[in-house]
Each structure stands twice: as C-alpha cells, then as structure tokens.
Amino acid sequence: MHGGKIKRGYTRPLDLKNGHIEMNHGSGGRVMTQLIEQLFLAAFDNDFLRQRNDQACFSCTSGRMVIATDSHVITPLFFPGGNIGSLSVHGTINDVVMSGARPQYLAASFILEEGFPLADLKRIVDAMAQAARAAGVPIITGDTKVVERGSGDGVFITTTGIGMVPEGIHISGENAKPGDKILLSGTLGDHGIAVMSLRENLSFHTHIESDSASLHDLVATMIVTVPDIHVLRDPTRGGLATALNEIAHQSAVGMMLYEEKLPIRQQVSAACEFLGLDPLYVANEGKLIALCAPDDADQLLAAMRSHPLGSQAAIIGEVIEDSHCFVQMETRFGGKRVVDWLSGEQLPRIC
Amino acid sequence: MKYIDEFRDGNVARRIATNIAAEVNPHRSYHLMEFCGGHTHAISRYGIADLLPDNVRMIHGPGCPVCVLPVGRIEYAIQLAQIPHLILCSYGDMLRIPTASGMSLQKIKAQGADVRIVYSCADAVSVAQRNPDRPVVFLAIGFETTTPPTAVAIKQAHALGLTNFSVFCNHVLTPSAISHILQSPEVRQLGLMSLDGFIGPAHVSTVIGSRPYEYFAEEFQKPVVIAGFEPLDVMQAILMLIRQLNEGRAEVENEFTRAVLPEGNVKAQLLVAEVFELRRVFEWRGLGLVPYSALRIKSCYAGFDAEQCFQIPMTSIADNKACECGAILRGVKRPQDCKIFGTVCTPENPIGSCMVSSEGACAAHYSYGRFRDASPVVKVN
C-alpha cells in the first residue's frame, strides 16, 4: 500500500452560455450544488448564503414583524422594463412594505423546467440580485426544484419577504374611513400593457415599459411625513379596481373615484382602447394606493410627488359611506358608474 | 387620444344633455332601443342614463353576438371540442356561456379539450397551419362586422390548400333581427312594449351601409339614427331621434358619418357574398326562429364547413326557465326585472348569455349600473 494524494475530480464549469436545465440539476447531487454555487450564490452572494445551510438564521429586534409571499408565473418571462426575476423581488418587497414595514430579508424558491436555457436563467437571477441589492434586501435562503419538460412553463419563482414595522405605524386594509382621500402614486396600467404587447397572439409595437419597482423608499418617505396613513395597497393583478374593491369590503365602506383625476399614459389608453381593455383593471408593479384622513392628504401628496416613484401622484377619489361597498366613479362624461370586481379575465370586445 | 377624446368630452356631453332636456316634450315619453351591445356598453360605462330626462328610456336590444347564440349551438361547439385531437378556436367571450347542464367550453377545456382563445379568425388559420395533422375548427359568431374576416379566413385557408381547417358558422344578420322585433306581437299587437325609434348599429353599418334601414323607417314608421360607439355619438343620436319624433319624421339619419357610407363597404359585401349564402331560418336566443336571419357557408366551400365535416346532430335546447334573457333581448324586460339577476345569475356564474359578454345588457347593468337599484348613497364631504 502506498499512500498517495487523491486527485481532485475535475468538474466542468456550468455552461452558462449554451447549457440547459437538466433533471439532475434538481437531484440533490453534485450537479445541483454546482448550479447553486456557480449561479445563485455567485449572484446573490451574502454571509447567510455563504454558510450553505438549508435555512438562514438571523437575530431581530422586538416589535411587529411582517411576512409576505408571492408566486410569479408570467408569460413572457422577459418584458420591456424587467423580467420575472426583478418582478419577483419587487412584488414581494412591495407586499411587505404595504404594511408600512421596512423590508429586511427575502427567501426565493425556483421551479425550473427541464430544458430551460441556463443563459436565460442567468439573466433572470442577475436581475433578481440587482433588484435585491438596489433595495438593500438580501436573499438569504432558497430552494431549487426541476420538473420534467412540459410540467412547467420555463421558470416559476416564489419569493417570501419579512420586514419590521416601525413603532406607531398601523396600516391595514380595514382602516379606511368615510371621508378619507384616495391617493395614487402614478400612471395606471404600464406593466400590464408592456407584458401584453409581447404576447404571442397580440404582439403590437409600443414604447411602454413595465413600471416594476420596489416601493420601500417611497413608503418610507410617506410614513415620515404622515405616520397616520390608514391604508396602503399595491394595485397589481386586477389593477386599481380590484385593489379598491378589496379595501372597500375589508373596511365596509364605499368609494367614489373621479375619472378625470386618474393618471394614465396616452400610449396605455390607446393600447387599452384597441384591445378593448379597461386600464382600471390592468396590472401595475410599481404603484401604490394610499388612503389617509382628508386633513393629511395634501401633505401626503406633496411627499409622494417629491419622490421619483411618486412624481405623478394624484388624489383620485374619496371614501364614502355605503353599506353595499360599491366602488363608483364619476365619469369624465358626467355620469356615474360602478367600478366592479373583475369577473374572469378581461376580454376584447367582439363586435 | 386623438379621435377618441373628442367623442368623450364631458362639456360637450352636458351641452347635448341641455339640448335634450330643452327639446323633449314633457307630455310624452321616448322609448329608444339601442340595437348594439356596443351602445349598451357605452351607455352603462359612461353613465349616459344620468344625463337623460326621466321620460327618455333606453331599451337594450339584441345586438350582442354572444347573447343571441342559442344554447343548442353552444352544445354543438362543446361536442365538437370533445372530438379527439380536434382544436377548437374561439373568441374569448364564448368560453363562459353555460349550457342547460351547466357545461361550458371553459369547463370542457379544463377537462382536457383543446379549446384556444383567438383574437381573430386569421389566428385560427395559423393554428391549422401549425397543426397539419389535427382538425382545427373556428367557432365563428357575430353580426355583419365579423363576417368579412371569416370570409377572408376561409378564402385564405382555401388558397393555402388547408384540409384540416373548418368554420362552425353562426354569423347572423342585423336587419332581419330588427324586423323581427318590430313584427313581434309584443310590439305590434299587444302594445306591451313601446318602441319609438332605434339607435342603429355602428360597426355593422360600416359594412352594410345605411340603406338597409330605410325599410324599417318607411314600413314601420320608426326613425333610425346610425351612431358610433363613443358616448357623444350616443348622446347626439338620442337628440336626433327626439327631434325626429317631435317633428313626426321617421327617417334614417346617419350620425356616424365619419365611418358609414350609404352603400357601406362594397368590397366586404362582395367577399361575404362569395363565401356565404342565406339560411332559410336560424334560431336566435330570445327571438326564436327568425327567417333569413343568418348565413351559412356556400357549397363550393363545403370542405370548410364544420357542420358538413362533422356529423353532429343539431338540437334545439330550451333556456333555463328562470332566465329572462329572451325577454331582455327583445327589450320587453330590463335586467333588474329578472328574478335571478344579481342573485343566482352573476358574471362569475352566468345562467343566461346576457350576463356573459360585457356587451350583454345584464352584464353591463351588473358591472356598471347596479348601484342605481340600491338605496341612495350617502356622500361624505
């Protein structure tokens, strides 16, 4: 017997240019570790991930904490102004901050479809890392699973975020009171139209970019100015109409919107017009609705407008008493109508 | 937005509303039917009823292509979709219409049938090109507006030599439906329903022109004003109808001059005539059997006619008894007169077809106008 050195096995680096996701990327073996280290860890790099545990352990101060989770399944994965990666970070951070909380950490879980190009995955992961870094919210734990070709749609990403609520802040959907003013941070429908413009059977040319953005800083600015904000909500899927109907039901109030006050880009109006959609129901990913007492409204509006993500903010309506919890709108035309829950998907008119 | 905002200007609307209020005769009422779902939608979405005097009543007509399709033909489409390997392409609204047994294309799709939403029938032709070994059927519905594109698709499929593409044709004709309403016993004999004039179709008229309406104006002495789908178009048309009625005139007037010519779109008409021919009779939901009111594919294009390609018996199925869609489509009842409106029948669980499409009278009233049925809202300043 002669003792010798055991040669370190050579592992070919992950082919991030031409490679594809294979079933063994999710099998728990060396190939999976390689994917995690060379792609996810390299991009998200932080002390928690470097420990290579299945969980992240952190200490926290006493107080109220917030947790929110969001699954992202979008088509197409890449769109003007972002991709599923940046969206999955912004979406969850925004869910956390709509409670007034400061976001602290994120967890990310990936379901990858066999055959998905690694180059695309890298673009997505890089966008996530960049979005998380820009927001100062590290991704500290995660998981990866691979499903057979045909059992997924490229990439599904679930992110979970936690945050700390500052002392004295009590923001919740049930706090709307008759008389409250309804503020919106900017233009409606940009994300939905940007994504729709790329759908296979619709494709049309537009310069509209998704508004996907993390709203933590805007919210922090708003809270400093008006700590007694009653409700915050980001009007994502289902748009402004759905978010306001949810709040109206949570708080058992009605709402009156003023159509002429709604900020909508001309390109978005035009796209909605020819697609037969209503911009009130189109998704946003970087906008928020705020409800506050009427005396605070002007101050809150000024604070929102002072922030780049709220420069086009507007007071768009008010909360009214209504046992039916209808969200109504005074149309630019001079009449009134219900702004109802969306039923099914929005569909273009036939005739 | 140019060419759009001008037709949604609130100040102009208020001026027209003032004129209407000044010109209506307070001693009579005006019952005006807007034939098209597009007008119904505009009236509800912009709150036009709020701008009209109490004695001007809008009656919603049957011009919603999704609403008028009888359940038997939906059932036929469902059976088509269940043929192994077949791909059924449809406009999105059709998927949610329930049959008597509560089945729908959407439910069949969830159970594994290949039902695809398309935005135009040209997309269905592309689906057929991409799937040469599978039969592809386009569920064609609609009035004269959607018929020319279907004709184009059939001619295109013919030129491409496609043998796996066919059309389940349900195209219907507007003028025969209007005649049928005017000749219905409720209007003619029983006097159950007052009907003083029509807002004529917008998009349909761009194809067929304004001439086909001259017969109604003349024969039934009912004024017709063809109007665009924008809210100011509708307001202006109401004013024009009131003027005609006050002056005792019954003429065809064209408010939608920016798009409608007296002769219509002749090229489109010729295309339709090349591919389609009149059906002797066709069943409409709410109106029953209406003679010469629909089109079928000509025998020279029989290979593209799904009804010829697939031997499925066509049956007539009665509507749910509680559903008043029939009476609502004829203008005899309003959505809120139906017992199941907003209770059993909602946009999420439609029983009748008028609750399915956004152009349907029930869906429009439910989505935009039902606060009017509730107690007055208290506004807090």
> How far, in Å, CA of B380 to CA of A214, rounded?
34
User: Consecutive sets of 10 residues in chain B, 381 residues long: mean pLDDT of each?
Assistant: 84 95 96 92 89 93 88 94 97 86 91 93 96 98 96 97 97 92 79 87 96 91 95 97 97 96 96 97 90 96 96 84 86 90 88 83 86 52 37
When the pLDDT of each residue in chain A is averaged and rounded to a whole number, the result is 92
Residue B188's pLDDT is 75
A62 close contact with B: CB closer than 8 A: no
Q: Which residues of B touch A349 (CB under 8 A)?
A: 38, 41, 358-359
pLDDT single digits (tens) A123-144: 999 999 999 999 999 999 999 9
Residue B327's pLDDT is 85
Cβ neighbours of B349 (radius 10 Å): 12
Terminal CA-to-CA distance of chain B, rounded, Å?
A: 33
> How far, in Å, CA of A6 to CA of B313, rounded?
77
| b/e map B264-290, b = 16+ CB within 10 Å | bbeebbebbeebbeebeebbbbbbeeb
pLDDT for A308 beyond 90? yes
Task: Return the structure tokens found at A321.
Answer: 């008493």
Residue A349's pLDDT is 55
Does the complex come out with an ipTM higher than 0.85? no
A343 close contact with B: CB closer than 8 A: yes
A328 close contact with B: CB closer than 8 A: yes
> How far, in Å, CA of A254 to CA of A51, rounded?
51
Residue range A240-260: average pLDDT? 97
> How far, in Å, CA of A340 to CA of A165, rounded?
32
Beta strands A78-79 and A139-147, pairing class: unpaired
Q: Look at B13 and A334 and tell me if their CB atoms are within 8 Å.
A: yes
Q: Where do we find the tokens 């219409």?
A: B97
Q: SS3 for A231?
A: strand
Q: Which residues of B touch A331 (CB under 8 A)?
A: 10, 45-47
A348: confidence class by pLDDT, cuts 50, 70, 90: low
Q: Which residues of A touch B45 (CB under 8 A)?
A: 331, 337
Which of B365, B142, B82 has its CA nearest to residue A348?
A: B142
pLDDT for A67 beyond 90? yes
A201 close contact with B: CB closer than 8 A: yes
Residues of B numbered 18-37 whose beta carbons fall under 8 angstroms of chain A's beta carbons: which are they?
36-37
> How far, in Å, CA of B172 to CA of A200, rounded?
30
Q: Look at A321 and B96 and tell me if their CB atoms are within 8 Å.
A: no
pLDDT for A40 beyond 70? yes
